[in-house]
Amino acid sequence: MKTQTDMTPEADLDALFAQARAQPLAVDDGFMARVLADATALQPRRVQRIAPRTSLWTRLAAALGGALAVAGVGTAAMAGLVIGYVQPEPMVTLAGSIGFGVSESLDLLPGFDALLTEDVSQ
């Protein structure tokens, strides 16, 4: 038999592992059933998720690029309507100074009076 001084740390560990393999531990069946029941209870369950219904406006905003893009398009549309309807004087003077030959007013939004007249001569 080897003495304590003759054994290396690796040989010492090998001897301990061999002794542990020679005497396997007996586990109670009731204990093992409880452990497996707890493990089964803690397993993640699959949850079925239902996709939320989205409205037409939400899908349209997403197609345009989001709420900020919709706000930008709306702002540009309103600015175009205001500039076309109000005919600000600085735009008329700007067009005249560039050389577009604008006299006194620039009709950016012509009326539809010609369409309202009735021709009763027929």
pLDDT, residue 41, reads 92
| Choice between 88 and 53, residue whose per-residue pLDDT is larger | 53
pLDDT in tens, 35-57: 999 999 999 888 888 888 889 98
**Amino acid identity, position 12:** D
Torsion (CA) 73, 76, 79, 80 in degrees, nearest 10: -100
Confidence bin at 33 (pLDDT 50/70/90):
very high
The pLDDT mean for the chain works out to 78
Sequence-distant (≥ 6) Cβ neighbours of residue 95 within 8 angstroms: 102, 106
* Token pair in block for residue 30: 């009731």
| Choice between 108 and 53, residue whose per-residue pLDDT is larger | 53
95 three-class SS: helix
**Amino acid identity, position 102:** V
pTM of the model: 0.33
1 pLDDT exceeds 60? no
Contacts 24+ apart (CB under 8 A), 18-24: none
**Amino acid identity, position 36:** L
Looking up tokens 């009076």 gives: 113
Looking up tokens 């038999």 gives: 1
pLDDT in tens, 21-30: 888 788 899 9
